[in-house]
Amino acid sequence: MSQNTILSNLNNIDSIEFYKQSLKIAVKIGDRTEEAKSLCKLANAYQCLGEQEQAIKYYQQWLDISRESLDSNAQAKALSGLGNAYQCLGKLDQAIEYYQQWLAITRRIGDRTGEAIALGSLGNTYESLGYYQQAIEFYQQWLEIARLTDDRTSVAIALGNLGNTYESLGQYQQAIGYYQQWLNVVKLTGDRSAEAICLSGLGNVYDCLGQYQEAIKFYQQSLKVRKQISDRAGEANVWFNLGLVLEKINQESGAIDAYRNARRLYQKIGFNQSVQDCNDAIELLGKNQATPNGKPLSVYASSRFWLWKWLNNLLQLIKMGSNTDSP
Protein backbone atom coordinates (compact mmCIF):
# COMPACT_ATOMS: atom_id res chain seq x y z
CA MET A 1 0.00 0.00 0.00
CA SER A 2 1.44 3.36 -1.03
CA GLN A 3 1.99 6.26 1.36
CA ASN A 4 -0.65 8.29 -0.49
CA THR A 5 -3.17 5.48 -0.05
CA ILE A 6 -2.39 5.23 3.67
CA LEU A 7 -2.79 8.99 4.11
CA SER A 8 -6.02 8.94 2.14
CA ASN A 9 -7.38 6.13 4.33
CA LEU A 10 -6.41 8.01 7.49
CA ASN A 11 -8.18 11.10 6.20
CA ASN A 12 -11.29 9.04 5.46
CA ILE A 13 -11.21 7.53 8.95
CA ASP A 14 -10.97 10.99 10.51
CA SER A 15 -13.77 12.21 8.25
CA ILE A 16 -16.01 9.33 9.29
CA GLU A 17 -15.79 10.27 12.95
CA PHE A 18 -16.51 13.91 12.13
CA TYR A 19 -19.51 13.14 9.90
CA LYS A 20 -20.92 10.65 12.40
CA GLN A 21 -21.02 13.48 14.93
CA SER A 22 -22.52 15.80 12.32
CA LEU A 23 -25.15 13.18 11.52
CA LYS A 24 -26.01 12.73 15.18
CA ILE A 25 -26.50 16.48 15.63
CA ALA A 26 -28.54 16.83 12.42
CA VAL A 27 -30.88 14.01 13.46
CA LYS A 28 -31.26 15.49 16.96
CA ILE A 29 -32.29 18.94 15.70
CA GLY A 30 -34.32 17.58 12.79
CA ASP A 31 -32.19 19.17 10.05
CA ARG A 32 -32.87 16.84 7.11
CA THR A 33 -30.62 18.77 4.72
CA GLU A 34 -27.58 18.41 6.98
CA GLU A 35 -28.55 14.81 7.69
CA ALA A 36 -28.49 14.07 3.97
CA LYS A 37 -25.09 15.76 3.56
CA SER A 38 -23.61 13.74 6.41
CA LEU A 39 -25.01 10.49 5.04
CA CYS A 40 -23.53 11.30 1.63
CA LYS A 41 -20.09 12.00 3.10
CA LEU A 42 -20.15 8.88 5.26
CA ALA A 43 -21.16 6.66 2.35
CA ASN A 44 -18.41 8.07 0.12
CA ALA A 45 -15.78 7.75 2.85
CA TYR A 46 -16.65 4.12 3.56
CA GLN A 47 -16.60 3.33 -0.15
CA CYS A 48 -13.12 4.85 -0.47
CA LEU A 49 -12.00 2.59 2.38
CA GLY A 50 -13.44 -0.42 0.57
CA GLU A 51 -16.04 -1.04 3.30
CA GLN A 52 -18.86 -1.56 0.84
CA GLU A 53 -21.47 -2.92 3.27
CA GLN A 54 -21.16 0.20 5.40
CA ALA A 55 -21.26 2.35 2.29
CA ILE A 56 -24.49 0.65 1.20
CA LYS A 57 -26.05 1.32 4.59
CA TYR A 58 -25.45 5.06 4.33
CA TYR A 59 -26.21 5.35 0.60
CA GLN A 60 -29.58 3.70 1.24
CA GLN A 61 -30.41 6.14 4.03
CA TRP A 62 -29.33 9.04 1.82
CA LEU A 63 -31.52 7.68 -0.98
CA ASP A 64 -34.53 7.47 1.35
CA ILE A 65 -34.15 11.10 2.42
CA SER A 66 -33.58 12.34 -1.14
CA ARG A 67 -36.77 10.58 -2.22
CA GLU A 68 -38.70 12.21 0.60
CA SER A 69 -37.42 15.63 -0.44
CA LEU A 70 -37.86 14.88 -4.18
CA ASP A 71 -34.20 15.76 -4.78
CA SER A 72 -33.54 14.03 -8.10
CA ASN A 73 -29.86 14.96 -8.26
CA ALA A 74 -29.20 13.44 -4.84
CA GLN A 75 -31.23 10.36 -5.75
CA ALA A 76 -29.09 9.87 -8.84
CA LYS A 77 -25.86 10.11 -6.84
CA ALA A 78 -27.11 7.75 -4.14
CA LEU A 79 -28.24 5.20 -6.74
CA SER A 80 -24.87 5.51 -8.46
CA GLY A 81 -23.09 4.86 -5.16
CA LEU A 82 -25.27 1.83 -4.43
CA GLY A 83 -24.62 0.41 -7.88
CA ASN A 84 -20.87 0.91 -7.48
CA ALA A 85 -20.84 -0.69 -4.04
CA TYR A 86 -22.77 -3.77 -5.19
CA GLN A 87 -20.49 -4.05 -8.22
CA CYS A 88 -17.44 -4.02 -5.93
CA LEU A 89 -19.03 -6.80 -3.90
CA GLY A 90 -19.57 -8.84 -7.06
CA LYS A 91 -23.35 -8.62 -6.68
CA LEU A 92 -23.78 -7.64 -10.29
CA ASP A 93 -27.53 -8.19 -10.64
CA GLN A 94 -28.17 -5.74 -7.82
CA ALA A 95 -25.66 -3.33 -9.33
CA ILE A 96 -27.58 -3.41 -12.61
CA GLU A 97 -30.84 -2.75 -10.79
CA TYR A 98 -29.48 0.43 -9.20
CA TYR A 99 -27.67 1.54 -12.36
CA GLN A 100 -30.94 1.23 -14.31
CA GLN A 101 -32.71 3.43 -11.76
CA TRP A 102 -29.82 5.90 -11.93
CA LEU A 103 -30.01 5.95 -15.73
CA ALA A 104 -33.76 6.61 -15.66
CA ILE A 105 -33.34 9.63 -13.38
CA THR A 106 -30.49 11.14 -15.40
CA ARG A 107 -32.66 10.93 -18.51
CA ARG A 108 -35.64 12.45 -16.74
CA ILE A 109 -33.68 15.46 -15.49
CA GLY A 110 -31.58 15.87 -18.64
CA ASP A 111 -28.22 15.12 -17.01
CA ARG A 112 -26.24 14.03 -20.07
CA THR A 113 -22.96 13.57 -18.17
CA GLY A 114 -24.63 11.38 -15.57
CA GLU A 115 -26.49 9.48 -18.29
CA ALA A 116 -23.22 8.73 -20.07
CA ILE A 117 -21.54 7.43 -16.91
CA ALA A 118 -24.59 5.30 -16.06
CA LEU A 119 -24.53 3.78 -19.55
CA GLY A 120 -20.83 3.02 -19.20
CA SER A 121 -21.44 1.42 -15.81
CA LEU A 122 -24.19 -0.79 -17.22
CA GLY A 123 -22.01 -1.79 -20.15
CA ASN A 124 -19.14 -2.63 -17.83
CA THR A 125 -21.36 -4.73 -15.57
CA TYR A 126 -22.96 -6.65 -18.44
CA GLU A 127 -19.49 -7.28 -19.88
CA SER A 128 -18.39 -8.67 -16.51
CA LEU A 129 -21.35 -11.06 -16.65
CA GLY A 130 -20.40 -12.17 -20.16
CA TYR A 131 -23.49 -10.58 -21.72
CA TYR A 132 -21.50 -9.01 -24.50
CA GLN A 133 -24.30 -7.93 -26.83
CA GLN A 134 -26.02 -6.02 -24.03
CA ALA A 135 -22.69 -4.49 -23.08
CA ILE A 136 -22.14 -3.33 -26.66
CA GLU A 137 -25.57 -1.66 -26.75
CA PHE A 138 -24.79 0.37 -23.64
CA TYR A 139 -21.25 1.21 -24.76
CA GLN A 140 -22.59 2.43 -28.12
CA GLN A 141 -25.04 4.76 -26.37
CA TRP A 142 -22.26 5.98 -24.08
CA LEU A 143 -20.00 6.63 -27.07
CA GLU A 144 -22.73 8.61 -28.83
CA ILE A 145 -23.22 10.93 -25.85
CA ALA A 146 -19.48 11.28 -25.25
CA ARG A 147 -19.03 12.41 -28.85
CA LEU A 148 -21.93 14.84 -28.65
CA THR A 149 -20.49 16.41 -25.50
CA ASP A 150 -16.91 16.32 -26.87
CA ASP A 151 -15.71 14.30 -23.88
CA ARG A 152 -12.55 12.77 -25.35
CA THR A 153 -11.68 10.81 -22.23
CA SER A 154 -15.03 9.04 -22.27
CA VAL A 155 -14.86 8.60 -26.04
CA ALA A 156 -11.52 6.82 -25.62
CA ILE A 157 -12.73 4.55 -22.82
CA ALA A 158 -15.94 3.67 -24.66
CA LEU A 159 -14.01 2.81 -27.84
CA GLY A 160 -11.60 0.67 -25.84
CA ASN A 161 -14.44 -1.18 -24.17
CA LEU A 162 -16.16 -1.78 -27.50
CA GLY A 163 -12.95 -3.15 -28.98
CA ASN A 164 -12.40 -5.42 -25.99
CA THR A 165 -16.00 -6.67 -26.04
CA TYR A 166 -15.96 -7.45 -29.75
CA GLU A 167 -12.67 -9.27 -29.20
CA SER A 168 -14.39 -11.34 -26.49
CA LEU A 169 -17.05 -12.27 -29.06
CA GLY A 170 -14.38 -13.31 -31.56
CA GLN A 171 -15.51 -10.55 -33.93
CA TYR A 172 -11.99 -9.43 -34.64
CA GLN A 173 -12.53 -7.07 -37.55
CA GLN A 174 -14.97 -5.02 -35.48
CA ALA A 175 -12.50 -5.09 -32.60
CA ILE A 176 -9.76 -3.76 -34.88
CA GLY A 177 -12.01 -0.94 -36.06
CA TYR A 178 -12.69 0.25 -32.52
CA TYR A 179 -9.10 -0.19 -31.38
CA GLN A 180 -7.91 1.91 -34.32
CA GLN A 181 -10.37 4.65 -33.44
CA TRP A 182 -9.27 4.44 -29.82
CA LEU A 183 -5.64 4.70 -30.89
CA ASN A 184 -6.38 7.85 -32.90
CA VAL A 185 -8.09 9.50 -29.93
CA VAL A 186 -5.39 8.70 -27.36
CA LYS A 187 -2.69 9.96 -29.69
CA LEU A 188 -4.56 13.27 -29.84
CA THR A 189 -4.95 13.44 -26.06
CA GLY A 190 -1.36 12.35 -25.39
CA ASP A 191 -2.35 9.44 -23.12
CA ARG A 192 0.75 7.25 -23.57
CA SER A 193 -0.43 4.52 -21.20
CA ALA A 194 -3.66 4.10 -23.15
CA GLU A 195 -1.70 4.19 -26.41
CA ALA A 196 0.51 1.31 -25.24
CA ILE A 197 -2.47 -0.77 -24.13
CA CYS A 198 -4.32 -0.11 -27.37
CA LEU A 199 -1.30 -1.17 -29.43
CA SER A 200 -1.11 -4.38 -27.40
CA GLY A 201 -4.81 -4.94 -28.02
CA LEU A 202 -4.27 -4.64 -31.75
CA GLY A 203 -1.38 -7.08 -31.49
CA ASN A 204 -3.59 -9.57 -29.66
CA VAL A 205 -6.36 -9.35 -32.27
CA TYR A 206 -4.02 -9.78 -35.23
CA ASP A 207 -2.48 -12.75 -33.42
CA CYS A 208 -5.95 -14.30 -33.09
CA LEU A 209 -6.49 -13.72 -36.82
CA GLY A 210 -3.23 -15.48 -37.62
CA GLN A 211 -1.79 -12.30 -39.11
CA TYR A 212 1.45 -12.67 -37.20
CA GLN A 213 3.55 -10.01 -38.91
CA GLU A 214 0.88 -7.41 -38.10
CA ALA A 215 0.77 -8.69 -34.52
CA ILE A 216 4.55 -8.36 -34.23
CA LYS A 217 4.42 -4.81 -35.62
CA PHE A 218 1.92 -3.65 -33.01
CA TYR A 219 3.63 -5.47 -30.16
CA GLN A 220 6.90 -3.77 -31.08
CA GLN A 221 5.20 -0.37 -31.12
CA SER A 222 3.67 -1.12 -27.74
CA LEU A 223 7.07 -2.11 -26.37
CA LYS A 224 8.56 1.19 -27.50
CA VAL A 225 5.89 3.22 -25.71
CA ARG A 226 6.01 1.11 -22.55
CA LYS A 227 9.77 1.55 -22.31
CA GLN A 228 9.36 5.31 -22.68
CA ILE A 229 6.83 5.47 -19.83
CA SER A 230 8.66 2.89 -17.65
CA ASP A 231 5.74 0.46 -17.59
CA ARG A 232 7.68 -2.65 -16.59
CA ALA A 233 4.70 -4.93 -16.03
CA GLY A 234 3.15 -3.98 -19.35
CA GLU A 235 6.48 -4.30 -21.13
CA ALA A 236 6.97 -7.78 -19.67
CA ASN A 237 3.51 -8.89 -20.83
CA VAL A 238 4.19 -7.66 -24.36
CA TRP A 239 7.57 -9.41 -24.48
CA PHE A 240 5.85 -12.65 -23.49
CA ASN A 241 3.11 -12.24 -26.11
CA LEU A 242 5.74 -11.40 -28.71
CA GLY A 243 7.55 -14.61 -27.78
CA LEU A 244 4.39 -16.60 -28.41
CA VAL A 245 3.93 -15.08 -31.85
CA LEU A 246 7.57 -15.59 -32.82
CA GLU A 247 7.24 -19.21 -31.73
CA LYS A 248 4.25 -19.65 -34.03
CA ILE A 249 6.27 -18.53 -37.04
CA ASN A 250 9.17 -20.81 -36.05
CA GLN A 251 11.53 -18.02 -34.98
CA GLU A 252 12.64 -20.02 -31.92
CA SER A 253 15.74 -17.95 -31.16
CA GLY A 254 13.76 -14.68 -31.17
CA ALA A 255 11.03 -16.27 -29.07
CA ILE A 256 13.53 -17.41 -26.42
CA ASP A 257 15.04 -13.92 -26.30
CA ALA A 258 11.56 -12.43 -25.86
CA TYR A 259 10.72 -14.86 -23.04
CA ARG A 260 14.01 -14.05 -21.33
CA ASN A 261 13.32 -10.33 -21.57
CA ALA A 262 9.89 -10.91 -20.07
CA ARG A 263 11.38 -13.06 -17.30
CA ARG A 264 13.99 -10.44 -16.41
CA LEU A 265 11.31 -7.77 -16.00
CA TYR A 266 8.94 -10.06 -14.05
CA GLN A 267 11.78 -10.89 -11.67
CA LYS A 268 12.42 -7.20 -11.04
CA ILE A 269 8.80 -6.53 -10.12
CA GLY A 270 8.28 -9.74 -8.18
CA PHE A 271 5.72 -11.46 -10.44
CA ASN A 272 6.77 -14.98 -9.47
CA GLN A 273 4.03 -16.88 -11.31
CA SER A 274 4.83 -14.99 -14.49
CA VAL A 275 8.53 -15.80 -14.04
CA GLN A 276 7.54 -19.47 -13.89
CA ASP A 277 5.44 -19.05 -17.04
CA CYS A 278 8.53 -17.72 -18.82
CA ASN A 279 10.63 -20.63 -17.56
CA ASP A 280 7.98 -23.07 -18.76
CA ALA A 281 7.82 -21.41 -22.18
CA ILE A 282 11.61 -21.52 -22.58
CA GLU A 283 11.75 -25.15 -21.47
CA LEU A 284 8.94 -26.19 -23.81
CA LEU A 285 10.53 -24.36 -26.70
CA GLY A 286 13.84 -25.98 -25.90
CA LYS A 287 12.12 -29.33 -26.25
CA ASN A 288 10.61 -28.13 -29.55
CA GLN A 289 7.09 -28.47 -28.14
CA ALA A 290 4.05 -26.26 -28.46
CA THR A 291 2.33 -24.81 -25.43
CA PRO A 292 0.00 -27.29 -23.68
CA ASN A 293 -3.06 -28.19 -25.83
CA GLY A 294 -2.05 -25.45 -28.22
CA LYS A 295 -3.16 -22.85 -25.70
CA PRO A 296 -1.15 -19.84 -24.53
CA LEU A 297 0.20 -19.68 -21.00
CA SER A 298 -1.33 -17.56 -18.28
CA VAL A 299 0.53 -14.34 -19.05
CA TYR A 300 -0.97 -14.22 -22.53
CA ALA A 301 -4.37 -15.14 -21.20
CA SER A 302 -4.12 -12.25 -18.76
CA SER A 303 -3.31 -9.58 -21.35
CA ARG A 304 -6.94 -8.92 -22.25
CA PHE A 305 -7.86 -9.07 -18.56
CA TRP A 306 -5.42 -6.23 -17.88
CA LEU A 307 -6.89 -4.25 -20.77
CA TRP A 308 -10.37 -4.74 -19.35
CA LYS A 309 -9.13 -3.90 -15.85
CA TRP A 310 -7.43 -0.70 -17.02
CA LEU A 311 -10.57 0.47 -18.81
CA ASN A 312 -12.69 -0.48 -15.83
CA ASN A 313 -10.44 1.47 -13.44
CA LEU A 314 -10.77 4.59 -15.58
CA LEU A 315 -14.55 4.25 -15.53
CA GLN A 316 -14.47 3.81 -11.74
CA LEU A 317 -12.48 7.05 -11.40
CA ILE A 318 -15.06 8.89 -13.52
CA LYS A 319 -17.88 7.45 -11.44
CA MET A 320 -16.19 8.40 -8.16
CA GLY A 321 -15.68 11.92 -9.43
CA SER A 322 -19.37 12.21 -10.27
CA ASN A 323 -20.36 11.18 -6.76
CA THR A 324 -18.10 13.29 -4.55
CA ASP A 325 -20.27 16.37 -4.19
CA SER A 326 -22.73 16.79 -1.40
CA PRO A 327 -26.43 16.82 -2.26
* Phi-psi category of residue 257: left, alpha or beta, with phi > 0 → left and psi -120 to 50 → alpha: alpha
Q: Which residues contact 300 (CB under 8 A, 6 or more apart)?
A: 240, 241, 244
Amino acid 290: pLDDT: 46
The CATH class that applies to domain 1-110 reads mainly alpha
The CATH code of domain 111-327 reads 1.25.40.10
Q: Please report how many Cα atoms fall inside a 13 Å half-sphere around the Cα of residue 227, on the Cβ side.
A: 10
DSSP E strand stretches across 207-326: none
Number of helices followed by number of strands (H, E) in the chain: 15, 0
Q: What are the extents of the domains in the chain?
A: 1-110, 111-327
Task: Say how far apart CA 258 and CA 253 lie, in whole Å.
Answer: 9
Measured distance between the N- and C-terminal CA atoms of the chain, rounded to whole angstroms: 31
DSSP letters of 80-109?
HHHHHHHHHTT-HHHHHHHHHHHHHHHHHH
| pLDDT per residue rounded down to tens, the chain (327 residues) | 443 443 344 466 778 999 999 999 999 999 999 999 999 999 999 999 999 999 999 999 999 999 999 999 999 999 999 999 999 999 999 999 999 999 999 999 999 999 999 999 999 999 999 999 999 999 999 999 999 999 999 999 999 999 999 999 999 999 999 999 999 999 999 999 999 999 999 999 999 999 999 999 999 999 999 999 999 999 999 999 999 999 999 999 999 999 999 999 999 999 999 999 999 989 888 776 444 444 444 444 445 544 555 566 566 666 655 665 556
